[in-house]
Amino acid sequence: MPLVALTGGIASGKSTIARRLAAHGAVVIDADALVRELQQPGQPVLAEIAAAFGDHLVLADGSLDRAALGAVVFGDADARARLNGIVHPAVAAESARRFAAALERDAQAVVVYDVPLLVEARSDDPWDLVVVAHAPAASRIRRLVELRGLGEADARARVASQASDAERLAIADVVVDTGGTIEETLAQADALWERLTSDRVGGRS
């Protein structure tokens, strides 16, 4: 079972690659979706967030006020580190459980972990391959403005708040250049799938 980490900065085209690999048959586990699940009412992670940052972050229906939490941690490195200290271990444990479940279902499955904060949250790396979706920062800023409706200053701040391109590229085994057309990105994703299913990336099986 190849276990692949797929990472990239905001608006890098990472989700496009993940969807293409899923269409080919990969088991894609989305780290952001895990975070949302673990922050649901009644989950220990939500209780820890409220204890650390204040009960006002929990709405009347018991759900997390994500916008308010974002306002608290955005631009505050210490607050973001505290939040990551709560969320990252829980996500790591749940993702490991899901990797194991995928292997149990199919020992030959290709499992892709779609994880934007791989650089920021690295610990013990189980990956057979690290794939980085890469586009120049200027392209990602333009996408955030044109496709997501952000103001340019906000877009620049969001890109700057993440790991640098150099940090992500330094851990890459494969770089998918997403700075061109969608067709070029998909062709690279197809080539990656061929590699994953022919090589089995060194033999996890």
Q: How confident is the model at residue 162 (pLDDT cuts 50, 70, 90)?
A: confident
Q: What's the CA gap between 104 and 145, in Å, rounded?
A: 43
Q: What's the CA gap between 49 and 52, in Å, rounded?
A: 5
Q: Copy the structure tokens of residue 29.
A: 């586990």
Beta strands in 127-189 (DSSP E): 129-134, 174-177
Q: Copy the structure tokens of residue 117.
A: 């904060």
> What is the per-residue pLDDT across 8-23, written as a single tens digit (0 to 9) for each?
999 999 999 999 999 9
> What is the per-residue pLDDT across 98-129, written as a single tens digit (0 to 9) for each?
999 999 999 999 999 999 989 877 656 789 99
Is this structure's pTM higher than 0.85? yes
> What is the per-residue pLDDT across 67-104, written as a single tens digit (0 to 9) for each?
999 889 987 889 989 999 999 999 999 999 999 999 99
**Exposed / middle / buried, residue 29 (Cβ in 10 Å: 0-12, 13-18, 19+):** buried
Domain with CATH 3.40.50.300 in the chain: 1-26+110-200, 32-102
Residue 120 has a pLDDT of 76
Q: Tabulate helix, strand, coil % of the chain (nearest 5).
A: 60, 15, 30
The CATH architecture that domain 32-102 belongs to is 3-Layer(aba) Sandwich (3.40)
CATH of 1-26+110-200, picked from 3.40.50.2300, 2.60.120.1440, 3.20.20.70, 3.40.50.300, is 3.40.50.300
